[in-house]
Amino acid sequence: MIITTTTATRISLAAALLLLAVVIYSALQPAMGVCGGLDPTYQPIIAFELARSVADLHAIFGAAPGTCREALTAQFAFLNTGDNLLFIPLYGVFLVFFFLGIRHTRLARAGAILVIAACLADYIENACLFRIAINPDVQSPALSLLPWATGVKWMGLAIAGGIGGIILSRRGGWRWIVAGLCFAGAVLVTLAIIAPHNFGRFASNGVTISWVVFLIADASAVLRPQAARIE
């Protein structure tokens, strides 16, 4: 069965709204604590994803085993399981069907492929995080693989966001502004990957910018289909 662009956009919007509900629920939960000296403005899960050394891990897990580390490890296991079962599928469907729903075949196909690659890398990333959390005191193979998995995930999402911005900009008018926002988000993510100690805390913000833009574009396309048409 061939999915029409209208149906694809509706599927994307539904997934985006479910994803938004998950994000809001997560935001209402108590802030996650750490056992080391991590900067309190740095989200622990993002710091964990962008860890590059045992010293980075100790800033999160502390320098020695203990009850704090055990509790934190259990929290990360819960978050990563939820990521695998809920968050990754939802953002994957949201973004892939967003690209299927916009009428610019070549660029949209590239965006969808990047999103799928990012989702696969995200699962590899989570597998690494599970392994690293078992013993954060050693430079394990999982810690060596982690930067590659996180790089593919974050950069795949960032570039897909930029591609979406390009496509939306071709609708003209105010959409040049949202295209610029998507590019700005991609720059933030790139800086986070290049220099995680300085910019890592902004990685999720960079991706969120394009996701909000895409959500608005989906809603506009569903509510005003003729206005959303790309000429």
pLDDT digits (tens, 9 = 90+) for 13-64: 999 999 999 999 988 988 888 999 898 889 999 999 999 999 999 999 999 8
- Measured distance CA(145)–CA(143) in Å, rounded: 5
Distance of CA 14 to the CA centre of its chain: 18
Establish if 228 belongs to a structural domain.
no
pLDDT digits (tens, 9 = 90+) for 59-95: 999 998 999 999 999 999 999 999 999 999 999 999 9
User: Which pLDDT score, from 0 to 100, does residue 150 have?
Assistant: 96
Q: How confident is the model at residue 230 (pLDDT cuts 50, 70, 90)?
A: very low
Share of the chain above pLDDT 70, in %: 94
Establish if 41 belongs to a structural domain.
yes
Q: How many domains does the chain have?
A: 1
- Measured distance CA(202)–CA(185) in Å, rounded: 9
pLDDT(148) > 50:
yes
Lowest mean pLDDT among 110-114, 181-185, 193-197: 181-185
Establish if 229 belongs to a structural domain.
no
Q: What is the pTM of this model?
A: 0.91
User: Which pLDDT score, from 0 to 100, does residue 124 have?
Assistant: 98
Establish if 230 belongs to a structural domain.
no
Q: How confident is the model at residue 172 (pLDDT cuts 50, 70, 90)?
A: low
Which residue type, as a one-letter code, is found at position 116?
I
218 C-beta neighbours (distance < 10 Å), count: 26
Establish if 128 belongs to a structural domain.
yes
Establish if 231 belongs to a structural domain.
no
Domain of 49?
Answer: 5-223
Q: What is the mean pLDDT of residues 85-110?
A: 92
Establish if 159 belongs to a structural domain.
yes
